[in-house]
Each structure stands twice: as C-alpha cells, then as structure tokens.
Amino acid sequence: MKKNYLYLILAVIFLAIVIFLGLSFYFDVQNKKQLTERSKEFVQIWGNYQDEASTSYINSLKDYISVEIMSDYQNNAQTINYYYSEGYEPTKSILVEKTEPKIKKENKNYLVILTAQRELVDVKKFEQNITLRWQRIDGAYKIVEIIANDN
Amino acid sequence: MTKSRQYMYLAGCASVLLIAVFVLFLGGLQAYATLITGSSSNKTDDGGLIASTACGEAVETLVSGVSMLPASSGKLGHEEHLSNVNPSHYCGTNSGDCSAIAGGGAFAPHTTEQERFYINSQWGGWDWTPTRNKKAPILSHEPGAAEARRVIAHAKLIVTITEPGVPTKSIVTSAEESGPALWVTDRDGVNFGAPPEVYNYLEGSSPYTGNPNDNSGRVNVGFAKDQSVTLGPCL
C-alpha cells in the first residue's frame, strides 16, 4: 500500500515538472515571437525621424521603452532644442533593416539583434548593428537598453 | 513486487532524478550568469589619469571604458554667460560683459557658482558629426553612451592652461553647456569653451586664429577625480 502512495507521489512530481517545463517552453516561444515583431516595429519608428527632439517622436517610442530611456530622450530634447535656438537644423534619420531580427534569452531578458542601413540626411550613411534588451517591468516587456554600433 | 513493477519504479526514480539534476543545473547556470553580469555592470569608477593639480587629480572619464571628452588637450573657446541661474547671476570685475548671455545652456538650471565657472565640450554620449553641417547633434547609442549622459550634467572638470609662455594655472569648472560645433573645431581647433571668469583667470590667448593646430588658448582638461572639490581657481 505504502509503495503505491510512493508511485503516486513520484508520478505527480514527474507530471508537475513536465507541465512546468512545457509551459515555460510555450511562454518562451510566445515571448520570442511577440518581441521579435515588436522589435521590428520599434526599430522602424526609432530610426526614422524628422526631429529626434520633437515631442511627437519621443511619445511614439513610449510604448516600447523603459521610463529611464524615456527620461534620457526628454533630457536630450532640452540639449537639442538649445541648438535649434542657435539656428541649427534638426538632423533627419532614415533606417532600413538589412537583416531579420534574431532573438535570444539572456537571464530573464531577451536580446534582439539586427543590422540596419542608416542615413543621417546630408550628413552620413552607415551600417549599424542594433541590440535591444527587453526586460519584463510591471507585467509588460520594455526595452531597457539600446546599443547601436556603427560599422 | 513483480519484476516489471521494479523496472517501472527504477525508471520513475531515474527520470525524476534526471529532471531534478537538469533543473538544478539550469538554476545554477542562471545564478552564475547573474553573478557575472551583475559584477561587470558596475562600471562607474575613475578613468585614466590626465594630470595632478593643486585641486587634485584630473581623469579622462567618470565611466570606465567610455570616452566622455573629445580629447584631453584642446583649445578653450571664449563663451558668453548663461541664463537660468539660481539664485542670481554672478557679475564681478573679471566677468566681462554681464549682459552678454548666450542662452540657457544644455544642462540648465545652474547655480551661481556653476554658471560662473562653467565649461562646455563635445561630450561623449552624443554623435557630433551633424554639427559639421550646421545640424543638431543626435543621441549616441554606442556602449556606455547612456551612462555617460547620466553623469555629465554638472560634473566637475579641472582645466589647466598649457599655452607656451603662460604661467601654469588650473581651475575647477562645471559641465553646464555643450559644444562647440565641429565646424568650429575644424576651423580653429576649439573643442572646449568657458565664460570670461574662467578664460580671464587662465590668461590664455584668443583661440580663434583660424589654425586648428596652434597653441593659442591651449588647455588640458579632465574630470576631477574627487567630484566634491570646490569650483573655482586652484590656489
């Protein structure tokens, strides 16, 4: 009788572990699919602008980025607006993706990596390797780090 | 217990054991990775030593491995005063024209002492290339750029005059403004700037010579290693 209980307990533990791993795998796949799509959307908005310091541009990034990055953009607007008052023109940017985003999990974050062709209008054209770090904050994934290396 | 039951029992135990080992292994890996990344993300410390002055040591950067200055040596531009000063604007015998105000500056508001002894430069954290074409700088997203931007406003820097024939003097300044544009650097070699209170104290020549490589108004600039140092001349 005792051995039967033992079998039952072992079977329940086994089943719980299988369900846990299965669900983890399922959510991981779903997260990767969703974040890859959101990264593509974000990069298009982020890299195509008429004025990096404009309120409409900064607000268009809001759904994707953390409060800290939003604050970085808002502080930058103060610096850049000063240049406009000195007669400098906004720098316009055009971005075209060159590679499909690749996603990988790193600890509890997801890293999305892609290469893009970038043009700062009338300034320079170059290639950039872009890495976005997504982190779950208050129940939603947000970008907490943007790294763009010029090639 | 029949043989088949014994096999089932053994198989069950073995699978549970294997899964437990696998889960523990994953957990261990994750903990190790967190340990590694956690220790490497603490990057803020002192940069390379530029100079030792009466006000302490000047270093290249406040964020390890990240360039925060265009260079440690350059020419000091002659700038005007800034607005948005609290509680009031300083105006002394070495202040030049106190009504000549350039604007709020990049890192407003400023205290009286911060405006009196301010410095501007092409700080790390931005891409200054567009300024060569009279366009505004843009955010840089190179590694460490965001961290550099977080620490630059009101950071203290030590400026030492190195122009030949001018007595060596140093002054502690505060990062309150950015620039000049790269076309100014290309034309005159000016990559820093300061108000009359700073350049009059240092007694360097006017840097606007049309020669980017001469030594008129040449200075060494670095971040004060001790950021609690008092603003003003190093006596």
- Residues of chain B in contact with residue A149, where contact means CB-CB under 8 angstroms, are 142-143
CA distance B198 to B24: 62
> Do B115 and B80 touch, CB atoms closer than 8 A?
no
Q: What is the pLDDT of residue B21?
A: 57
Question: Is this structure's pTM higher than 0.95?
Answer: no
Contact criterion met (CB below 8 Å) for B120 and A82: no
Asked if B16 and A13 come within 8 Å (Cβ–Cβ), the reply is yes
- Write down the residue that tokens 């009359």 correspond to: B196
For B45, the token pair is 């410390």
List the Cα angle B178/B79/B97 in 5-degree steps: 140
Residue B14 pLDDT exceeds 70:
no
Mutation site, A78, A83, A150, interface B, largest B CB count within 10 A:
A83
Question: Does pLDDT of B170 surpass 60?
Answer: yes
Structure tokens at B166: 């001018």
Q: Is A69 on the interface with B (CB under 8 A)?
A: yes
Q: Provide the pairing of β-strand B138-139 with B101-103.
A: unpaired
User: Which pLDDT belongs to residue B47?
Assistant: 64
Q: Which residue has the higher pLDDT, B148 or B38?
A: B148
For the segment A106-142, what is each residue's pLDDT rounded down to a tens digit?
988 999 999 999 999 999 999 999 999 999 999 999 9
Q: Are A145 and A46 a contacting pair, CB within 8 Å?
A: no
SS (H, E, C) chain A: CHHHHHHHHHHHHHHHHHHHHHHHHHHHHHHHHHHHHHHHHHHHHHHCECCCCCHHHHHHHCCCECHHHHHHHHHHHHHHHHHHHCCCECCCEEEEECCCCEEEEECCEEEEEEEEEEEECCCEEEEEEEEEEEEEECCEEEEEEEEEEEC
Q: Is the pLDDT of residue B194 over 80?
A: yes
Q: Give the pLDDT score at B44.
A: 36
- A87 CB near a chain B CB, below 8 Å? yes
Which residues of chain A neighbour B37 with C-beta distances below 8 Å? Answer: 107
Helix (H) or strand (E) holding B51: strand B49-53
Chain-wide mean pLDDT for chain A?
A: 95
> What's the pLDDT band for B36 if we cut at 50, 70, 90?
very low
Q: Is the pLDDT at A71 greater than 60, yes or no?
A: yes
Subunit contact B9:A7, Cβ cutoff 8 A: yes
pLDDT of residue A86: 85
Per-residue pLDDT of B115-161, as tens digits, reads 999 999 999 999 999 999 999 999 999 999 999 999 999 999 999 99
Strands B170-178 and B49-53: unpaired
Does residue A22 come out as left (phi exceeding 0), alpha (psi in the -120 to 50 range) or beta? alpha
CA distances from B52 to A51, B90, B156, B223 (A): 42, 29, 15, 11
Residue B130 to residue A72, Cβ atoms within 8 A? no
Residue type, B221: V
d(CA B15, CA B40) in angstroms, rounded, equals 38
B26: helix, coil or strand?
helix
Q: Do A17 and B129 touch (CB under 8 A)?
A: no
Cross-chain Cβ contact B149/A53 below 8 Å: no
Residues in chain B whose beta carbon is closer than 8 A to a beta carbon of chain A? 1, 8-9, 12-13, 15-16, 19-20, 23, 30, 33-34, 37, 103-108, 126, 129-139, 141-143, 146, 149-150, 153, 178-179, 181
Per DSSP, B44 falls in state B
- pLDDT score recorded for residue B102: 86
CA geometry: angle at B223 spanning B219 and B228, to 5°?
A: 125
CB atoms within 10 A of CB A5: 9
User: What is the pLDDT confidence band of residue A82, given thresholds at 50, 70 and 90?
Assistant: confident
Q: Which residue of A has its CA nearest to B19?
A: A17
**Contacts A120 to B, Cβ<8 Å:** 129-130, 135, 138
Nearest CA in chain B to A75: B107
